Amino acid sequence: MAFHVLIVEDSRAMRGLIRATVEQMPDFTSFEAGSGFDALKALPAHKFDLIITDINMPDINGLELISFVKGHPQYKETPLIVVSTEKSEEDRKRGMTLGASGYLVKPFKGNELQDMVRKVLGIE
């Protein structure tokens, strides 16, 4: 079973790091979106099994993206992981309320992300 992951993060270096971590796992491929808008465009063009998103972004924020995904017929069941810094605790809570499956606080370690990915996809 192969998994395709959407990574939404406005920091180029951070995106690269998340991508490398995700793709270290066998059968994982990913697509990078550098902004919320890019993510909105990528969603209908791909079939993602998982979405990893930042919260603080310039065009639309991560919460608005989660709300969009949860209202999208193709993606409403797709798990979402929120990554943010400890400053955004309140926003992270709101993300969980909107239906995110899990969150990670930056800085996190590669294996923490991988564990979280496996957990929300139900593959141990």
Partner 1 sequence: MQSKDDKSKAEFLAEAEDILEDLNQHLLQMETMVDAGSVDQDIVNAIFRGVHSLKGLSGMFGFDGISSLAHKLESLLDALRLGKVEITLDVTSAIAAAMDRLKDLSGDIGRGGVESSGYADMVAMIDEAMVSRSLSEKKTITEDLEIDNGIVSVLTEYEEHRLKENIKARNNIVLVKARFDLATFDKDLTALNDKLRGKGEIISTLPSSGINPEEGIEFNLLIGTKDAFEKIASEVAAPRISSIEIKYRNTAAKSEAASSSLRSLSKTVRVDIKRLDRLMNIVGELVLVKSMMLQISKELRGMQGFTGIAIDLYKTSREFDRKLGELQEGVIEVRMVPIGQIFTRLAQAVRKYAAELKKDVEIEMLGEDTELDKLVVEDISDPLMHMIRNAIDHGVESVEERARRGKPKRGHIQLNAFPKGNRVVITVDDDGGGIDHEKVKRRAIEKGLLDPGVTLTRREMLDLVFLPGFSTSEKVSDVSGRGVGMDVVKKNVAKLSGVIDIDTAIGRGTKFTITLPITLAIIKALMVKVGREKFAVPLSSVLETLMVTHDRITTIEKREVISLRGETLPLLRLDRVFGLDDDGTGGAGADFLYIVVAGIAEKRIGFVVDRLVGQQEIVIKNIGEKLKNIPGIAGATETGDNDVVLVLDVESLIDEATMRR
Give the footprint of partner 1 on this chain (CB under 8 A).
Answer: 10-14, 16-17, 36-37, 40-41, 44, 55-56, 58-61, 63-68, 71-74, 84-85, 87-88, 90-91, 94, 97-98, 106-108
CB of 37 vs partner 1, minimal distance in Å: 5
CB of 38 to partner 1, least distance (A): 8
Q: Closest CB to partner 1 among 108 and 121?
A: 108
- Round the CA-based radius of gyration of the chain to a whole number and report it: 13
The nearest distance, CB 124 to partner 1, in angstroms, is 26
Q: How far apart are the first and last CA of the chain?
A: 13
Rounded to whole angstroms, the Cα distance separating 23 from 19 reads 6
Residue among 11, 49, 55 at smallest CA distance from 30: 49
Give 67 or 101: the residue with its C-beta nearer to partner 1: 67
Number of separate helices (H) and strands (E) present in the chain: 5, 5
